[in-house]
């Protein structure tokens, strides 16, 4: 009989959840179970020995069966305003089936109430608390991988929508490491809110680091937040969420969001490792970043 804590990982066919599931499976401290809506995307997870359960956050009847016997869960949603109703449905089902600990992937906790999707994540945090789960709230800053995943880098050109703003950044693999640790040790990390951002850079500085490490010229091309919005809508982004990001960029350029370059010294204490710098990230993803 398996007496290990059972951990359900959402988003396991995506970037952060996929890495968390892999780390948990490797650690062997808990049993990792992936809750996925597209089983055909889950073959690699299966090959890693991870149990797959069908779960679609938009289909309420899939939630309780997927949560059967689960002790802890990683709550992660996609880039959509539906995150609010999806998270509520998931948390209600998790309460019903007796889940103890929730680790939630949120977003920046920067002190502004004008960037709505940051607030949406904080509503979800409050809902987790109101249901009296043990919890760990993770608040990552911008992912370095956005450069690769969102098409912000093309043939040596870094598209810059944020003017001279200096952002705080995190390698999403580091976020996954923190999530995996907190899922394995809820006794240590319960009741904690962790802001996660470990290196700062403007887009010009990112281009400079790319040039230095890859040894080819990289430059920025500055575009307006309105261009960003238009492009993202054209490629099918969910309108409400992407409007929030558009607002964030506009406020960034107007220098109206405080502490955009805040970094935090909690990574080593949580994981026992050093966080990834921009230079380290470029070394690690050299192949994807080169042209
Ligand atoms: N990018 C940033 O700079 C940044 C910064 C701070 C916080 N975040 C947060 O990071 C999270 C995104 O993480 P990520 O980059 O790992 O995302 P991702 O790679 O886009 O993966 C999203 C995952 O969610 C799954 N999913 C979406 N809708 C679902 C549904 N209805 N039911 C079940 N699963 C569903 C997807 O499944 P499919 O494979 O089937 O689509 C996929 O596995 C978001 O909550 C975002 O707010 C991002």
For the chain, what is the radius of gyration of the CA atoms? 19
**Cβ(75) – ligand 1 distance below 6 Å:** no
Q: What are the domain boundaries of the chain? A: 6-141+172-196+261-275
Substitution site in 78, 81, 147, 173 for ligand 1 pocket (most atoms within 8 Å of beta carbon): 78
Reduced to 3 states (helix: H, G, I; strand: E, B; else coil), residue 7 is strand
Question: Strand ranges (DSSP E) for 173-242?
Answer: 192-196, 199-201, 219-222
**Cβ(178) – ligand 1 distance below 6 Å:** no
pTM comes to 0.98
How much distance in Å is there from the Cα of 140 to the middle of ligand 1? 13
d(CA 37, CA 58): 9
- Say what the pLDDT of residue 112 is: 81
How much distance in Å is there from the Cα of 89 to the middle of ligand 1? 17
Substitution site in 8, 9, 10, 11 for ligand 1 pocket (most atoms within 8 Å of beta carbon): 11
| Ligand 1 nearest-atom number relative to CA 16 | 16
Q: Is 290 exposed, middle or buried (0-12, 13-18, 19+ CB in 10 A)?
A: middle
* β-strands 167-170, 199-201 pairing: antiparallel
**Cβ(110) – ligand 1 distance below 6 Å:** no
Measured CA distances, 126 to 57, 88, 104, 176, 212 (Å)? 19, 11, 11, 22, 44
Reduced to 3 states (helix: H, G, I; strand: E, B; else coil), residue 95 is helix
**Cβ(223) – ligand 1 distance below 6 Å:** no
- Token reading at 72: 């802890």
- Closest residue by CA, ligand 1 atom 10: 105
- Say what the pLDDT of residue 1 is: 57
What are the pLDDT tens digits along the chain (291 aa)? 568 999 999 999 999 999 999 999 999 899 999 999 998 999 999 999 999 999 999 999 999 999 999 999 999 999 999 999 999 999 999 999 999 999 999 999 988 889 999 999 999 999 999 999 999 999 999 999 999 999 999 999 999 999 999 999 999 999 999 999 999 999 999 999 999 999 999 999 999 999 999 999 999 999 999 999 999 999 999 999 999 999 999 999 999 999 999 999 999 999 999 999 999 999 999 999 999
- Say what the pLDDT of residue 2 is: 67
The crossing angle, in degrees rounded to 10, of helices 172-184 and 15-27 is: 40
- Token reading at 145: 């991988």
| Ligand 1 nearest-atom number relative to CA 17 | 16
> The dihedral of CA 112, 116, 122, 123: what is its sign?
positive
**Cβ(81) – ligand 1 distance below 6 Å:** no
**Cβ(56) – ligand 1 distance below 6 Å:** yes
- Say what the pLDDT of residue 113 is: 85
Domain 6-141+172-196+261-275, CATH: 3.40.50.720
């Amino acid at each position: 009989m398996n007496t290990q804590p059972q951990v359900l990982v959402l988003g396991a066919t995506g970037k952060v959840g996929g890495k968390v599931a892999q780390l948990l499976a490797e650690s062997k401290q808990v049993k990792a179970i992936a809750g996925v809506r597209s089983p055909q995307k889950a073959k690699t997870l299966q090959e890693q020995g991870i149990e797959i359960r069908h779960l679609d956050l938009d289909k309420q009847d899939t939630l309780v069966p997927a949560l059967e016997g689960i002790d802890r869960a990683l709550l992660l949603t996609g880039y959509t305003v539906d995150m609010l109703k999806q998270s509520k449905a998931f948390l209600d089902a998790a309460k019903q089936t007796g889940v103890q600990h929730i680790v939630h992937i949120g977003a920046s906790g920067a002190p502004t109430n004008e960037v709505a999707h940051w607030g949406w994540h904080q509503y979800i945090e409050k809902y987790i608390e109101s249901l009296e789960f043990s919890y760990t709230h993770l608040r990552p800053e911008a992912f370095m991988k956005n450069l690769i995943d969102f098409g912000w880098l093309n043939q040596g050109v870094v598209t810059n929508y944020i003017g001279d703003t200096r952002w705080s950044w995190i390698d999403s693999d580091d976020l996954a490491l923190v999530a995996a640790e907190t899922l394995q040790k809820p006794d240590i990390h319960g009741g904690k809110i962790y802001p996660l951002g470990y290196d700062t850079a403007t887009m010009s500085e990112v281009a400079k680091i790319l040039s230095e490490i890859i040894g080819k010229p990289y430059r920025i091309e500055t575009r307006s937040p309105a261009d960003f919005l238009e492009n993202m809508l054209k490629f099918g982004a969910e309108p409400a969420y992407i409007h929030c990001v558009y607002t964030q960029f506009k406020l960034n350029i107007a220098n109206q969001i405080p502490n955009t370059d805040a970094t935090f010294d909690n990574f080593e204490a949580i994981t026992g490792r050093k966080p990834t710098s921009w230079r380290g990230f470029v070394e690690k993803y050299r192949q994807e970043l080169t042209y």
